[in-house]
């Protein structure tokens, strides 16, 4: 192997090593962990490691795209602070997509100064996964093929030799094992290794991720990863036909815009004459207006693209600008409708995102007018708009939307005495983001004006914070948002002990709701009455603990011994213990067969442990005791 080829081989091996390090890091930092510190560390490690290695080997070719590291790092940091659905569900996906795109464009060769297009990138022509799979063969070859003193030898030959020797080793080892007891004893000690299925799965997934990552890196460092020249084409539309279509569409928009100006920005007689509120008028047809904006924007883009690649027409440009202006009025109208609706009914995530989307649409419309006046190419317009979209998405993701909504809705409730939708706070928002605002409203005088069901929703929302904190056991799951929410909850402890007691009560209920139990045997399903069961093995005996919760009547707890012989129910199961609970109390069966009773009147929970006496009587429920944590301490 020549020195140049040897250096190339070492370079590729470094990329393979980096791929394995990243696969191991992902498995230890991210896999099976809650979003938090681990995900952030992995994202930063990949970005820094990839840029550094490619800089060392002079593969960083499109330095302009280093700007993409800014939204990448910002979004990576967001998982440490926020718990809303955008951050927990969409942002991780966006980070992965940004990481892939940044890796591709940063290492892209362009020796001839070819105009940048996405279609000109070879890996996108073949699609990402097939391109990576093609390179995996070369990755394996580099790993198992080495050079000894200029003589090419393959490790695969050694592997073949080992494979041929295995049958002989098995035969001779079996004979030695049978021939000598001392050898057999040592043999058992040497091979007394227990490998769990989890370890096998972990090794497999690390190896698979490493191979895919290494194949991806191989694609990026090859000479074929070069921007190809793509002839830019666009459909040519007849100017007369286009002018007619644009004129008619403009006429329709002009009628609508005139109505909007009259009733939304001026005279409000229509609203009053038809006995409807501005909020109702704003809600009706709002999303239709959003669709009008989207469809009109696509329509304008198609025409704009065609006329930038073909001859220009000032009249068509005038009609395009007129249509853009009227779409802008529609956008302002939709924005005005949303403001009116939110003023009456408050904020939600969807309403706020749609409002921000309209602001972004207005910005793109303004940019499109400037582009038409300056005869900007559609390619530049497209990539600039995409860049604006990434900036807008980054800004939106930085805003803690759930916290903003909670703060504003609670402010309206406290200062303006408007209604507070506590169900929305409980079911649709991140508890760790809204906890500080909820803690403030609970500590305020306005809290007493809420009914019990509304208070319960707020209690349960704060209860989720405690359970979220308890679930994050590893430092890799550390989350600043969770800690902020916990501090907000702790602020209530000294000033509102009664409130804290109620929150603790619902915390236990929420934790017990996540308890997973096996279903009851078929023999226990009688008359459609709901039953909950767990099985316990003790002293070679099998017991079934059953909790029956009839719609009308007292919950019943029973302990049966499973005789493990077929027959009637009484022949197979022997009733050992039975207990009835007052029907006004909530009763929950735990995994160990014990019972927790919740008293909603006193906001307390009591634990009944299962006591195995060891005598002929079998297991029974022990004496109850008050608990404040879950699971109950032994």
What residue spans define the domains of the chain? 1-230, 239-399, 406-513, 522-627
Write out the DSSP string of 390-414: HHHHHHHHHS-HHHHHHHHHHHHHH
pLDDT at position 626, please?
Answer: 92
Tokens of 606: 């009591």
CA-nearest of 355, 444, 346 to 392 is 355
The secondary structure of 64-118, three-state, reads: HHHHHHHHHHHHHHHCCCCCCHHHHHHHHHHHHHHHHHHHHHHCCECCCCCCCCH
Tens digits of residue pLDDT in 418-433: 999 999 999 999 999 9
Q: Are 108 and 64 in contact (CB under 8 A)?
A: no
CA-nearest of 519, 462, 521, 506 to 488 is 462
Bridge partners, residue 54, by sequence: none
319: pLDDT strictly greater than 80: yes
Q: Are 60 and 54 in contact (CB under 8 A)?
A: yes
| Ramachandran region, residue 612 (left: φ > 0; alpha: ψ -120 to 50; beta: rest) | beta
Q: Are 95 and 45 in contact (CB under 8 A)?
A: no
| Ramachandran region, residue 348 (left: φ > 0; alpha: ψ -120 to 50; beta: rest) | beta
pLDDT band at 457 (very low <50, low <70, confident <90, very high): very high
Tens digits of residue pLDDT in 106-143: 999 999 999 999 989 998 887 777 888 888 888 988 88
- What average pLDDT score do residues 86-101 get? 97
Q: In what order do the strands lie in the sheet with 625-627?
A: 586-589, 595-599, 604-608, 625-627
- What average pLDDT score do residues 504-528 get? 77
| Rounded Cα gap, residues 280 and 296, in angstroms | 25
41: pLDDT strictly greater than 80: yes
| Rounded Cα gap, residues 582 and 566, in angstroms | 35
| Rounded Cα gap, residues 595 and 624, in angstroms | 9
* 277 vs 558, more confident: 558
Centroid of chain to Cα 24:
21
pLDDT at position 80, please?
Answer: 96
Contacts of 596 (CB under 8 A, 6+ apart): 508, 512, 587, 588, 590, 605, 606, 607, 608, 627, 630, 632
| Rounded Cα gap, residues 599 and 518, in angstroms | 25
For residue 150, give the DSSP letter.
T
Centroid of chain to Cα 598:
34
104: pLDDT strictly greater than 50: yes
* 62 vs 554, more confident: 62
Coil/strand/helix, residue 62: coil
Residues 604, 607, 610, CA angle at the centre, nearest 5°? 170
* 277 vs 103, more confident: 103
| Rounded Cα gap, residues 50 and 29, in angstroms | 18
Cis peptide before 631 (omega within 30 of 0): yes
Tokens of 130: 């097939």
| Rounded Cα gap, residues 393 and 381, in angstroms | 18
Residues 531, 537, 541, CA angle at the centre, nearest 5°? 105
Q: Are 65 and 390 in contact (CB under 8 A)?
A: no
Tens digits of residue pLDDT in 235-292: 888 888 999 999 999 999 999 888 777 665 544 555 545 555 555 655 666 777 888 8
* 134 vs 177, more confident: 134
For the beta carbon of residue 253, count every other beta carbon within 10 angstroms: 19
Lowest mean pLDDT among 228-232, 249-253, 264-268, 295-299: 264-268
| Rounded Cα gap, residues 489 and 539, in angstroms | 45
pLDDT band at 150 (very low <50, low <70, confident <90, very high): very low
pLDDT at position 266, please?
Answer: 44
Tokens of 149: 């003193």
538: pLDDT strictly greater than 80: yes
Q: What b-and-e string marks burial along 602-619, b requiring 16 or more CB atoms within 10 Å of the CB?
A: ebbbbbbbbebeeeeebb
pLDDT at position 233, please?
Answer: 79
Q: Are 455 and 499 in contact (CB under 8 A)?
A: no
* 182 vs 20, more confident: 20
Write out the DSSP string of 228-273: PP-----PPPPHHHHHHHHHHHHHHHHHHHHHHHHHTTT--HHHHH
For residue 41, give the DSSP letter.
H
| Rounded Cα gap, residues 383 and 391, in angstroms | 12
pLDDT at position 323, please?
Answer: 94
Tokens of 608: 């009944």
pLDDT at position 474, please?
Answer: 92
Centroid of chain to Cα 27:
17
Strands 610-612 and 619-621: antiparallel
């Amino acid at each position: 192997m020549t020195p140049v080829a040897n250096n190339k081989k070492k370079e590729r091996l470094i990329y393979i090593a980096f791929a394995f390090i990243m696969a191991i890091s992902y498995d230890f930092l991210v896999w099976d962990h809650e979003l938090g510190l681990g995900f952030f560390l992995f994202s930063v490690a990949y970005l820094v490691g990839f840029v550094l290695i490619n800089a060392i080997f002079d593969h960083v070719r499109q330095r302009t795209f280093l700007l993409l590291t800014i939204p990448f790092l910002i979004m990576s940091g967001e998982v440490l602070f926020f718990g809303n659905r955008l951050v927990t569900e969409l942002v991780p996906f966006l980070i992965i997509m940004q990481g892939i795109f940044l890796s591709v464009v940063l290492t892209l060769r362009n020796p001839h100064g070819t105009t940048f297009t996405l279609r000109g990138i070879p890996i996108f022509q073949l699609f990402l996964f097939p391109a990576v799979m093609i390179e995996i063969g070369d990755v394996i070859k580099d790993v198992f093929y080495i050079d000894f003193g200029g003589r090419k030898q393959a490790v695969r030959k050694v592997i073949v030799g080992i494979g041929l020797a295995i049958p002989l080793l098995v035969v001779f080892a079996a004979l030695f094992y049978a021939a000598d007891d001392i050898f057999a004893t040592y043999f058992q000690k040497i091979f007394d290794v227990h490998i769990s299925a989890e370890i096998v799965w972990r090794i497999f997934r690390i190896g698979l991720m490493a191979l895919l990552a290494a194949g991806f890196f191989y694609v990026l460092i090859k000479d074929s990863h070069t921007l190809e020249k793509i002839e830019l084409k666009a459909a040519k539309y007849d100017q007369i036909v286009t002018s007619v279509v644009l004129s008619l569409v403009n006429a329709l928009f002009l009628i609508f815009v005139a109505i909007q100006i009259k009733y939304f920005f001026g005279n409000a007689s229509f609203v009053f004459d038809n006995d409807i509120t501005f909020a109702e008028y704003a809600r009706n047809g709002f999303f239709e207006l959003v669709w009008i904006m989207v469809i009109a924007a696509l329509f304008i883009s198609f025409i704009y693209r065609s006329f930038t690649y073909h001859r220009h027409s000032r009249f068509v440009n005038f009609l395009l600008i007129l249509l853009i202006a009227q779409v802008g009025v529609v956008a302002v109208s939709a924005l005005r409708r949303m403001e009116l609706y939110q003023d009456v009914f408050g904020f939600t995530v969807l309403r706020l995102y749609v409002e921000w989307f309209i602001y972004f649409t207005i910005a793109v419309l303004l940019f499109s007018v400037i582009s038409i006046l300056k005869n900007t190419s559609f390619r530049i317009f497209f990539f600039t708009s995409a860049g604006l979209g990434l900036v807008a998405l980054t800004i939106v993701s930085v805003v803690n939307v759930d916290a903003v909504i909670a703060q504003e809705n609670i402010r309206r409730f406290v200062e303006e005495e408007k209604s507070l939708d506590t169900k929305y706070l409980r079911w649709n928002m991140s508890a760790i983001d809204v906890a500080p605002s909820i803690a403030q409203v609970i500590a305020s005088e306005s809290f007493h004006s809420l009914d019990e069901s509304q208070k319960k929703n707020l209690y349960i929302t704060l209860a989720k914070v405690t359970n979220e904190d308890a679930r994050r056991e590893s430092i890799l799951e550390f989350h600043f948002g969770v800690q902020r929410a916990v501090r907000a909850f702790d602020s209530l402890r000294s000033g509102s002990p009664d409130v804290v007691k109620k929150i603790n009560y619902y915390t236990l209920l929420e934790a017990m709701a996540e308890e997973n139990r096996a279903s009851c045997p078929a023999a226990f399903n009688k008359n459609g009455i709901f039953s909950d069961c767990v099985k316990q093995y003790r002293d070679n005996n099998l017991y079934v603990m059953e909790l029956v919760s009839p719609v009308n009547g007292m919950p019943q707890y029973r302990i049966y011994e499973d005789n493990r012989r077929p027959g009637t129910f009484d022949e197979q199961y022997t009733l050992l213990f039975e207990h009835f609970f007052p029907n006004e109390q909530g009763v929950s069966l735990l995994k160990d067969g014990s019972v927790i009773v919740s008293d909603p009147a006193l906001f307390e929970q009591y634990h009944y442990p299962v006591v195995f006496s060891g005598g002929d009587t079998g297991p029974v429920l022990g004496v109850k005791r008050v608990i404040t944590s879950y699971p109950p301490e032994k």
